[in-house]
Amino acid sequence: MNTLIWTGSYTADRNANGKGIGAISVDSDGKLTSLGLAAAADSPSFLAKHPTLPVIYAVAEEGQVVQAYRRTRTAELEPMGKAWHSGEATCHVAADPHGRFIIATCWGDGQVVLYELDDDGAITSRTSAEAAVDPHQTGPTDDPRPSRAHSSHMLPDGRILTTDLGHDLVRVWRYQQGTGLVPDHQVVLPKGSGPRHMVRHPSGTVFIDTEYSVEVAAIRAEPQGVYELTAIVPASVNKAFDGDAAAEIALSPDGRFAYVGVRGSNRICILKVIDGGTALEPLADVPSGGDWPRHHLVHGEWLLVAHEGSDDVVSYRLDPQTGLPDGPVSRVETGSPSFLMTAH
């Protein structure tokens, strides 16, 4: 059976070639097919889906808003309610698994914004969380660094993690209805590492790729629930090259391998999960198959890679034993893709 994939994109307001939220399908042989434009929008660079309703949420990275969309037909969406203000360069959105709220993170001004939802999935309120403080700012003579909130991740215990790429922080929050996000504690990463995106392993370890240092950090919670940095390793078996920047991180379905996209040298780095899911070791690098792999998606035995620079999405078959991608198997053209997400 074919699987519907929503695609985010960059559009003319970013001098890019996308038109909005797109739709493609992938079949059981990894063949990709374009289904056209699902909804016209300005730079909907990241998407999230409601856990139970046919509703998705998109950031407008240049427009500084978050918009809900309702699915109307197989591959069509329509705006649902008004667009809500977010912050500068809103680059990520994630949905609470219970459908109570979504969280947008803003690279431009560091804001972490929570939007509460009603029973239909519509946005009803907006609350900006407490601003980050740079833990590496040790004195008044240090050059100030801007806060750059980049992603959020919902934990099984109801708490929320957010990364701050500018301050090298992972912040842990509790949700309080009507109040928003309440700080719990934070984890400090090495200065200049740039924590970007997160994925949680079934063992409970959260792996975080670092955009600037092109590494993967591991954080784990102690019995008291306090997260600590337990390891940090290079993403690649080779060095990071000038101009490289890590993008997305994803796990294989069985949790044995992790995949990190690297823009610049245009690689997918494969890492092996070791020590019962508590650590990683670099295994191999393969070409991503295009230019500027901004995002990728592991879907069953398939790895799909969105190339912003070459205006395409490519599919690879993943070897379940070695974890290595084989291909590319299929390629579909789509303007400046920035994100991939299954519709179901």
CB 268 within 8 A of CB 296: yes
Torsion of CA 8, 14, 19, 20, to 10 degrees: 40
| Helix%, strand%, coil% for the chain, nearest 5 | 0, 55, 40
| Residue 23, amino acid | A
Cα–Cα distance for residue pair 4/218, rounded to 1 Å: 32
What residues does 142 pair with on adjacent strands?
Answer: none
> Residue range 27-32: average pLDDT?
98
The tens digit of pLDDT for each residue in 208-266 reads: 999 999 999 999 998 889 999 999 999 999 999 999 999 999 999 999 999 999 999 99
Q: What pLDDT sits at residue 229?
A: 98
Q: What pLDDT sits at residue 141?
A: 74
> Residue range 255-280: average pLDDT?
98
Sorted by sequence, the CB contacts under 8 Å of residue 11 that are 6+ apart come out as 17, 18, 19, 20, 41, 42, 43, 44, 335, 336
Q: What pLDDT sits at residue 55?
A: 98
Q: What pLDDT sits at residue 238?
A: 94
Phi and psi for 174 in degrees, rounded to 5? -115, 145
Q: Specify the residue for token string 């823009």.
A: 263
| Model confidence at 184: pLDDT above 80 | yes
Alpha-carbon separation of residue 247 from 59, 231, 271, 307 (angstroms)? 17, 19, 15, 11
Cα–Cα distance for residue pair 295/340, rounded to 1 Å: 7
Query: Across the chain, what does the average pLDDT equal?
Result: 97
Phi and psi for 163 in degrees, rounded to 5? -100, 150
Q: What pLDDT sits at residue 213?
A: 98
Instruction: Report which of 170, 171, 172, 175 is spatially closest to residue 158, judged by C-alpha positions.
Output: 175
| Model confidence at 33: pLDDT above 90 | yes
Q: What pLDDT sits at residue 242?
A: 94
Cα–Cα distance for residue pair 280/217, rounded to 1 Å: 9
Instruction: Report which of 6, 5, 8 is spatially closest to residue 335, judged by C-alpha positions.
Output: 8
Q: What pLDDT sits at residue 304?
A: 98
Instruction: Report which of 89, 96, 71 is spatially closest to residue 21, judged by C-alpha positions.
Output: 71
pTM: 0.97
The tens digit of pLDDT for each residue in 50-68 reads: 999 999 999 999 999 999 9
Residue 172: CB atoms within 10 Å: 20
| Model confidence at 201: pLDDT above 90 | yes
Sorted by sequence, the CB contacts under 8 Å of residue 95 that are 6+ apart come out as 48, 49, 50, 51, 57, 101, 102, 154
> Residue range 6-22: average pLDDT?
98
Q: Specify the residue for token string 């680059």.
A: 91
